Amino acid sequence: MPKKSKVTITDIARRVNMTTITVSRALTKPELVKKETLDRILEVARELNYVPNAFARNLKGSKSRLIGIITASLDNPFYSEMIKAISRAAKKRNYSIMLFDTDGSPELENKAMETMLSYQVDGIILSVVSDYDEYHPQYLEQLIHANIPVVQVDRRLSGAPFPGVYLDNLASGYKGGRYVLEQGHRHILALAGPEQSNISKQRLEGLKQALAECKEPTRLEVLYGDYTMQPAFENATAYFKQHKQSPDAVFGLNILITLGALKALRKLGNKRHNPAVFSIDEAPYADIFDFNIPCVHHDTYQMGHSAINMLLDRIENPGFEGSDIIIEGDLRASV
């Protein structure tokens, strides 16, 4: 499929039968243009999916040499190694990166995408704020029409035609469940992300599969929150205050959730509540303090390296579509 050329002000000028000077003035200094003229130009610009080029005056070639990265939360250590891998690989290929942290906000994600499109980045690595099936951001159609190579990471945007690099979340939940059972634990409290999140669903499904294979009776309780520390801390605190009987193990579905649970246990300081703790994703630098949490480890550096290489291949070879890459985690009983 041939790559569509980017829409320019010349294309708009032809459609509205006006000069490029008038169109340029309408797009850059709208106060100098009659309302009827401005409305007509903006209407056609939207129809053609025109994206203003913030670098147009400075570019010597047809490429900006910019890679855009949108991530849902830089607070999560999961992303640090991934971004390091992307940055290093981009530098080697003479690309710079433009990084946006949306802090879990759809509005900030939309603004970040608008900014990247206005700078006409050569490609985008996208980790969306939500992997709900119902999440359909308003920029998606424009992004598709802009014909900019995109690679998704970690969270899959439902309905998006872009390839991505993802974790085998079902396998991670299953491996963690098998390990916890092998330690003799039968009553498990799982602290999860949002109930509608496909990552939560897949990790819990893997955990449930492991429990279903156990020949002895098991009990699973699930507390939903999000993928940050504070909700996990609050949920775990409330749970342990309300229950005299402690579960055998607390199973955190990501590292921030696990840390929130540990914070709750430490604050309560009650020997009655002394469950084993298991995490999907490992706590960075925990070994320095001789504090080890058994976990399923994901190689996020590999994740970033795979994503940037796929993106650069798509940028430099327009006919290359790319396909999904699935990265499997490995069990680390002693980190």
pLDDT tens, per residue, the chain with 335 residues: 455 667 888 999 999 999 988 988 888 777 788 889 989 998 998 888 887 765 554 444 457 789 999 998 887 888 888 999 999 999 999 999 999 999 889 999 999 998 898 888 999 999 999 999 999 998 998 898 888 999 999 999 998 999 999 999 999 999 999 999 999 999 999 999 999 999 999 999 999 999 999 999 999 999 999 999 999 999 999 999 998 888 999 999 999 999 999 999 988 875 566 899 999 998 877 666 667 899 999 999 999 999 999 999 999 998 898 899 999 999 998 64
| Torsion sign, CA atoms 57, 62, 66, 71 | positive
Q: Which domain holds residue 112?
A: 66-162+300-327
Sheet with 164-167, strands from edge to edge, namely 96-101, 66-71, 123-126, 150-153, 164-167, 325-327
- Work out how many domains the chain is built from and give that number: 3
Residue 250 is given by DSSP the state E
Residue 246 is given by DSSP the state P
Strand partners, 187: 219
Instruction: List, in sequence order, the alpha helices (H) in 57-183.
Output: 78-92, 106-118, 140-146, 169-182
Q: Are residues 28 and 137 in the same domain?
A: no
Amino acid identity of residue 136, one-letter, is H
Alpha carbon distance 135, 158 (integer Å): 7
Q: Are residues 135 and 196 in the same domain?
A: no
Q: Are residues 278 and 197 in the same domain?
A: yes
Region for residue 158 given its phi and psi (left: phi exceeds 0; alpha: psi -120 to 50; beta: otherwise): beta
Q: Are residues 284 and 305 in the same domain?
A: no
Has residue 52 been placed in a domain?
no
Q: Are residues 158 and 175 in the same domain?
A: no
Q: Are residues 93 and 157 in the same domain?
A: yes
Has residue 75 been placed in a domain?
yes
Instruction: List, in sequence order, the alpha helices (H) in 183-299.
Output: 198-212, 229-242, 255-268
Q: Are residues 185 and 158 in the same domain?
A: no
